Amino acid sequence: MSMQAHPLSPLLAPRSVALVGASEKSIWTILILRNFKDFGYQGALHAVNRTGVDTFGVKGYRSCRDIGAPVDVAFIFVPIDAVPDALADAAAAGIRYATILTSGYAEVGEEGRRRQDALVAQAEALGVTLWGPNSLGYNNVEAGIPVSVIPVVKPFLPPSIAILSQSGATAAELAEYAHGQNIGTSFVAATGNEAQVSLAEIIDYLVDHESTRAIAVFAETIRNPAAFVRAAERARTKAKPIVVLKIGRSQLATQVAQAHTGSLVGDDAVFDAVCDRLGVIRVASTEDLINTAGLLAATGRLSADGLGFLSISGGACTLVADAAEAHGVRLPPNDPGTVAALRGVLSDLGSTLNPLDVTGAAMRDPDLFGRVIPLAAGAPGIGLLGVGIAVPTAEGQSLPPALTAIGRAAAAIETPSVVVSTCGKSLNDYARQSIAEHRLPHVMTGIDAFLRAAGNAIRWSARVDETGVAPTLVQDKLDQPPPLDTEQAVLTFLEGRGVPVVPQRLARSAGEAMRHAGDIGGPLALKIVSPDIAHKTEVGGVRLNVQAAQAGAVFEAIMADVIRARPGARLEGVSIAPMRGGGGLELLIGVRRDPTWGPVIAVGFGGVLVEVLADLAIAPLPVTRTQAAGLLRGLRGARLLDGFRGTAPADIDRLAQVIVDIGDAALSLGGGLAELEVNPLRVAGAEIEALDGLIVWRKET
Amino acid sequence: MSMQAHPLSPLLAPRSVALVGASEKSIWTILILRNFKDFGYQGALHAVNRTGVDTFGVKGYRSCRDIGAPVDVAFIFVPIDAVPDALADAAAAGIRYATILTSGYAEVGEEGRRRQDALVAQAEALGVTLWGPNSLGYNNVEAGIPVSVIPVVKPFLPPSIAILSQSGATAAELAEYAHGQNIGTSFVAATGNEAQVSLAEIIDYLVDHESTRAIAVFAETIRNPAAFVRAAERARTKAKPIVVLKIGRSQLATQVAQAHTGSLVGDDAVFDAVCDRLGVIRVASTEDLINTAGLLAATGRLSADGLGFLSISGGACTLVADAAEAHGVRLPPNDPGTVAALRGVLSDLGSTLNPLDVTGAAMRDPDLFGRVIPLAAGAPGIGLLGVGIAVPTAEGQSLPPALTAIGRAAAAIETPSVVVSTCGKSLNDYARQSIAEHRLPHVMTGIDAFLRAAGNAIRWSARVDETGVAPTLVQDKLDQPPPLDTEQAVLTFLEGRGVPVVPQRLARSAGEAMRHAGDIGGPLALKIVSPDIAHKTEVGGVRLNVQAAQAGAVFEAIMADVIRARPGARLEGVSIAPMRGGGGLELLIGVRRDPTWGPVIAVGFGGVLVEVLADLAIAPLPVTRTQAAGLLRGLRGARLLDGFRGTAPADIDRLAQVIVDIGDAALSLGGGLAELEVNPLRVAGAEIEALDGLIVWRKET
């Protein structure tokens, strides 16, 4: 797909812009025109205001209709009461896109939300697509087109990453941070209230944006989940990384966001699972957002998951070793061949470990870098090489010959490499000059920042070409639910969908109970079967460890207890199943419907782990067997699967298949399902059985 | 204690320095003299070299003895082979301190370690105290005295924190980072190999160093644990914060450090526990190290544990909410009085939550800050106020009137406050000028960095005046151990020390077994008692759930099985104890001897939590009851103590006392103890009993 073909091209890369509300007295006008000048905008520009006067040399009109030439975007920043007229005027002039800076809409509460709804209705009626409102706009750096008041940090750096932010102030601060890390921006946008165009559509546009090599997103909410999933999938197939900082990990943040933009923030753990599925990298800080995008933009996909590191500072090497472990980065030990080669090159001062302390010797003999870097980069399993040295922001911080040697060696190896300073800092003119002069590879500041970003980049690289299965998302169709309203019915349904369940029979009389008990043999579990009784134990509806010979009497006792406790409840009988003993694991497999992302499956170990530690792994449905196995391996208590205190190791393959089948069974019930739970699923080696099941339907049905 | 009185004052604040090895051709000489010049050093300086020529205008001598005036420190940077003569010459001239820059000692392996040992022996014989070797020296900024090649970052900022680093390159990078965060240094040192003077002694010196308001330490190892404990205790009683970044969280880092400086790195979790006991703040990154020290140096001890935050950026507010939760910082909700007061001040644009989004309205009406800041800072429970706004490093990043209003309001409140930008960056001349012009309070860059440091500062402030109990450290005296070589003997010993143990009796015959069994009543646990048998079950030495009537026969069976399995083992008989059933928690309480920090106690829940999740809390001995309760509350599974599946809540007070008693019992055994373990300690409400115990003695005894 070429850029021009994208439906949002006229909005995001306009060749003609009308500034609606332009005035020499308006700070907005001043900031907007400064941007057009700074970017060297080559397209057409028109000033529209009540009087039709020129504005700072831009030809003025009283109306968009007076312009008399095609206009791609009306950039509207008139007072809120004048917006509807401005929009109508733009539409009448044939303008199909409006970027609305004016605020006072959904972000200010109920009254504002009504105004916004009315604006959207007007735009839809007029056939105009809205960006904003309450947005600072966007700088399409690649195209040299700023439709924004987002300030530009100079000098321009070669474009590399896109920055999208729902918060305007944050967009500007992220762009400034990127600049300080010597990361150029290709596109910077503050999306504001996203009344129509949301992050998802812009991401989709950026997938084909030439100079955007990675997309960094700061989000409070994902307004169009289906479009987000589609855009992320398209980015993944093109190996264009998306990095997301989404707030909402804390309850408080969701409250603040709601007050801030009126946006609802979904279940955070579910969003984590969705990102994992989509190959979207999720981070927790602004710095990690930009550093990860910047690193991947510089290196592209890494071909191996090991990090090599070398430094003239032993301190840096120890810090890297600790930070690598903390951030899940593997530093593969050097193989014997590399060790031998390093021994040949290094004086007896250095070790041959990875990370490699080349010691101050490299300062006296900078050529050492030239000899060591190819060896460290060429060691088996190294996908990224870090070289620790002070990146100078002022004279005297590093010896130039060492930098020259590093730049030369880095250019000669195939492994992507990064020069890393120990602490974070902003790279200034001096640093940029030094980077250019010594032809340094990508530069990062701060060992912790480097290892965080490297971990993200490595994990993304390893998984980007996995065959994806998109989340089911919300199914709006509420099929008539089948009446799966007893444990027995749920287990029978699951069995029909290929899930192994404990054998059980329905007894409707004491005699039938005796016959079933005799067939099964004791000890047995007897439970009341009634669509009206959710908590069977509380009403005396459960007896465990029943001997077969007692089954008839116990049947009578259960019926009597339940009738006494819950007179009038519909009773279908008593289910009889063999007791399952110890010597196995008990898992909980639950499916529930997330209001944003649709059905998700949760897997955990029963008992202390799930109830005390909330040790659950979740994924959007459907899941593949590999993904189900990944969920199991991701549990904190995963070691239990390998056998514990004499328990046989769980048959992971088989167990993963059961999880897949439970998920598929839940999906087969359609959009009316609120919850399906198998608890416990008993696992003893390859013996796997659902012992109990529950289904809850959505209230709306 | 005045500064001059400190024994290290002549070394660390010398008034006369001899540069031994001075030469106009030496890069060291050039760097050293540049430092003396930059610092405006007012003391005496002498150049010593073979020819006795002047060096860059510093009067030259062929020997220290020729100087003819008192000299505090010989700063020695001659080649390694010339060091012994230089040291002897300095001693002969009456110089009592030598700072040795020369490298090639313990950091380069066995040969170097021997050289270092010889150097220390020579120094001891001569009565000279050594700093280094392999050290870049120290800049005593407060005193205007640099005995180092550590570069100075200009302009000088008001001194505030001390930076100590065992790695030289890292010392310089930390100082540069501090400068970029507008944090002045009072003392910067690279301690190198610490052949004599170690971090501990320098920390002790800095406790009384006027302008040092916090001490930041980067360490690979703590060479003098006893002195470190004393210095930390002294700092704590004076409420001078110590922040430590100590590597060694990963196995790899300890390997690298060993190759790097020949230092052994102790058990990392034990060091965490020691820091916790001493009120030392431990951090994991260089940035957190400097930011935490800088924040506490600026604010001093905080008087409440809540953080207030407000910003013109809603995005910043949501980021703060998430980061606060991630880093354990409490954002107390505003009380009704504050909410009402805020409602009176804010337009309907803003919420009244904490964090508080004052919205862009504050840009149009900067005075809003003046009205809101006192309210947010005055809300109950607020010990620190953060104000989020772009700290400008170039024109146009923030509106000056807003900064002026913030500076004025911050100066008028009693609560310490911090101005915070969303992303990390270096503060340059423009920023410093802006900070001075608007009289901004302490400035921090990066919300994540701010919350990390705030969390550290808040936790330290809450605990610094706790009555401390210093760790026992290593007891070198190996007392003759009592023969506690059976489970029975260990339980009896513990009982004698006040620890509740399960009642048990020793049977030496089947008849005695029957009598004891009759007294106790069944079911019973019978176990072989033998100093030669550690694993009783393996040799058939254990029978559980024995009925009282069977006790005689089971006694015979155990004896027969054990004699068959381990002929010749010394058998003392069979212990008989009542079986304890379910319905309680099982804890593991272990004491072991850490080679650096002495005996430490570990507490955990038996079963899955300790065996699969390694959920253990540890502390150096002795522990107080409060500390023991803190260990229990620090377990991931702590909720189990509140009752789980019908178990009675544990009596925490009583349980904590039992932990104290077990720890004291272990300490009473002296330095010969390697390990003492109570496993399980059964806890059912207030019923607490040790069911089994084991003691292992150190091999050296």
Cβ <8 Å between B423 and A176 = yes
The label of the residue with tokens 């004048």 reads A82
A332 at interface of B, judged by CB pairs closer than 8 A: no
Q: What is the DSSP letter of B464?
A: T
pLDDT class of B259 with cuts at 50, 70, 90: low
The DSSP secondary structure of B521-565, one letter per residue, reads -SSEEEEEE-TT-S-TGGGT-EEEEE-GGGHHHHHHHHHHHHHHH
Cβ <8 Å between B322 and A611 = no
What are residue B580's DSSP bridge partners?
none
Q: Which residue of B has its CA nearest to A325?
A: B250
Highest mean pLDDT among A1-10, A529-538, B652-661: B652-661
Cβ <8 Å between A174 and B394 = no
Cβ <8 Å between A390 and B331 = no
- Measure in Å the smallest separation between the Cα of A155 and chain B Cα atoms: 12
Report the candidate in A399, A618, B16, A683 with the shortest Cα–Cα distance to residue A691: A683
Cβ <8 Å between B169 and A353 = no
Distance CA A255, CA B542 (A): 59
Distance CA A599, CA B600 (A): 48
Distance of CA A334 to the CA centre of its chain: 34
The residue-averaged pLDDT of B73-88 equals 98
Least confident window among A219-233, A641-655, B489-503: A641-655
A425 at interface of B, judged by CB pairs closer than 8 A: yes
The label of the residue with tokens 């040795």 reads B100
Which candidate in B256, B313, B339, B430 is best for mutational testing of the A interface (most A CBs within 10 A)? B256
| B419 contacts in chain A (CB < 8 Å) | none
Take residue A59 and report the two structure tokens written for it: 């030809």
Q: Is the pLDDT of residue B4 over 80?
A: no
Which candidate in B221, B285, B427, B636 is best for mutational testing of the A interface (most A CBs within 10 A)? B285
Distance CA B283, CA A349 (A): 30
- Measure in Å the smallest separation between the Cα of B396 and chain A Cα atoms: 8
Which candidate in A285, A348, A447, A632 is best for mutational testing of the B interface (most B CBs within 10 A)? A285
The residue-averaged pLDDT of A663-686 equals 91
Residue B219 backbone phi and psi in degrees, to 5: -130, 145
Q: Which residue of B has its CA nearest to A246?
A: B319
What are residue B46's DSSP bridge partners?
B18
B647 at interface of A, judged by CB pairs closer than 8 A: no
pLDDT per residue over A291-342, tens digit each? Answer: 999 999 999 999 999 999 999 888 999 999 999 999 999 999 999 999 999 9
Least confident window among A443-452, A608-617, B151-160: A608-617
- Measure in Å the smallest separation between the Cα of A659 and chain B Cα atoms: 23
Take residue B337 and report the two structure tokens written for it: 């009085």
The residue-averaged pLDDT of B13-22 equals 97
Least confident window among A13-17, A386-390, A610-614: A610-614
Distance CA B184, CA B453 (A): 17
Distance of CA A146 to the CA centre of its chain: 28
pLDDT of residue B265: 47
Q: What is the DSSP letter of B193?
A: T
pLDDT of residue A647: 78
pTM for the model: 0.94
pLDDT of residue A2: 46
Cβ <8 Å between A256 and B353 = yes
| A35 contacts in chain B (CB < 8 Å) | none
- Measure in Å the smallest separation between the Cα of B125 and chain A Cα atoms: 29
Q: Is the pLDDT of residue B267 over 90?
A: no
| A613 contacts in chain B (CB < 8 Å) | 613, 636-637
Q: Which domains does chain A have, with CATH numbers?
A: 1-136 (3.40.50.720), 153-299 (3.40.50.261), 301-463 (3.40.50.261), 503-578 (3.30.1490.20), 585-697 (3.30.470.20)
Contact assessment for residue B292 and residue B302, using Cβ atoms and an 8 Å cutoff: no
Q: Which residue of A has its CA nearest to B355?
A: A256
Strand pairing class (A693-697; B44-48) = unpaired
Cβ <8 Å between B256 and A355 = yes
Q: Is the pLDDT of residue A61 over 80?
A: yes
| A446 contacts in chain B (CB < 8 Å) | 285-287
| A308 contacts in chain B (CB < 8 Å) | none
Q: Which residue of A has its CA nearest to B330?
A: A252
Q: Which of A174, A260, A644 sits opposite B357 (nearest CB)?
A: A260
pLDDT per residue over B613-643, tens digit each? Answer: 888 899 999 999 999 999 999 999 999 999 8
Mean pLDDT of chain B, nearest integer:
92
A334 at interface of B, judged by CB pairs closer than 8 A: no
Q: Is the pLDDT of residue B348 over 70?
A: no
Task: List Cβ neighbours of B121 (8 Å cut-off, separation of 6 or more).
Answer: none
Distances (CA, A) of A633 to A28, A629, A652: 54, 6, 9
| A107 contacts in chain B (CB < 8 Å) | 314
pLDDT of residue B266: 56
The residue-averaged pLDDT of B413-434 equals 97
Contact assessment for residue A47 and residue A40, using Cβ atoms and an 8 Å cutoff: no
A82 at interface of B, judged by CB pairs closer than 8 A: no
B28 at interface of A, judged by CB pairs closer than 8 A: no
Task: List Cβ neighbours of A155 (8 Å cut-off, separation of 6 or more).
Answer: none
The residue-averaged pLDDT of B321-327 equals 96
| A314 contacts in chain B (CB < 8 Å) | 107, 167, 256-257, 259-261
- Measure in Å the smallest separation between the Cα of B482 and chain A Cα atoms: 34
Which candidate in A322, A364, A640, A644 is best for mutational testing of the B interface (most B CBs within 10 A)? A322
A647 at interface of B, judged by CB pairs closer than 8 A: no
Q: Which residue of A has its CA nearest to B606?
A: A608
| Helix B400-412, helix B367-378: angle, nearest 10 | 30
| B165 contacts in chain A (CB < 8 Å) | 315
Q: Is the pLDDT of residue B264 over 60?
A: no
Residue type for position B151: P
Distance CA A372, CA A377 (A): 9
pLDDT of residue B701: 43
Distance CA B306, CA B285 (A): 24
Mean pLDDT of chain A, nearest integer:
92
pLDDT per residue over A613-653, tens digit each? Answer: 888 899 999 999 999 999 999 999 999 999 877 778 999 99
Distance CA B557, CA B67 (A): 89
Phi-psi region of A4 (alpha: psi -120 to 50; beta: other; left: phi over 0): alpha
Distances (CA, A) of B354 to A45, A218, A284, B316, B381: 43, 21, 20, 12, 12
Distance CA B174, CA A316 (A): 11
Q: What is the DSSP letter of B508?
A: S
Q: Which of A259, A394, A448 sits opposite B287 (nearest CB)?
A: A448
B292 at interface of A, judged by CB pairs closer than 8 A: no
pLDDT of residue A268: 87
Report the candidate in B319, B484, B292, B473 with the shortest Cα–Cα distance to residue B384: B292
Q: Is the pLDDT of residue B361 over 90?
A: no
Q: Is the pLDDT of residue A481 over 80?
A: no
- Measure in Å the smallest separation between the Cα of B357 and chain A Cα atoms: 7
Q: Is the pLDDT of residue A536 over 80?
A: yes
The DSSP secondary structure of B245-289, one letter per residue, reads EE--SSHHHHHHHHHHH------HHHHHHHHHHHT-EEESSHHHH
- Measure in Å the smallest separation between the Cα of A284 and chain B Cα atoms: 8
pLDDT class of B686 with cuts at 50, 70, 90: confident
Q: Which of A151, A357, A424 sits opposite B259 (nearest CB)?
A: A357
Distance CA A350, CA A369 (A): 13
Cβ pairs A/B, distance under 8 A: 273
Q: Is B595 exposed, middle or buried (0-12, 13-18, 19+ CB in 10 A)?
A: exposed
Distance CA B119, CA B117 (A): 5
Which candidate in B28, B423, B426, B429 is best for mutational testing of the A interface (most A CBs within 10 A)? B423
pLDDT per residue over B195-247, tens digit each? Answer: 999 999 999 999 999 999 999 999 999 999 999 999 999 999 999 999 999 99
Q: Is the pLDDT of residue A575 over 50?
A: yes
Q: Is the pLDDT of residue B481 over 90?
A: no
- Measure in Å the smallest separation between the Cα of B479 and chain A Cα atoms: 38
- Measure in Å the smallest separation between the Cα of B93 and chain A Cα atoms: 32
| B312 contacts in chain A (CB < 8 Å) | 169
C-alpha torsion B548→B552→B554→B559, nearest 10: 150
Q: Is the pLDDT of residue B399 over 50?
A: yes
Half-sphere exposure of B479 (CA within 13 A, CB side): 11
Residues 41-60 of A with CB under 8 A from B: none
Q: Which residue has the higher pLDDT, B251 or A367?
A: A367
Q: Is the pLDDT of residue A170 over 50?
A: yes
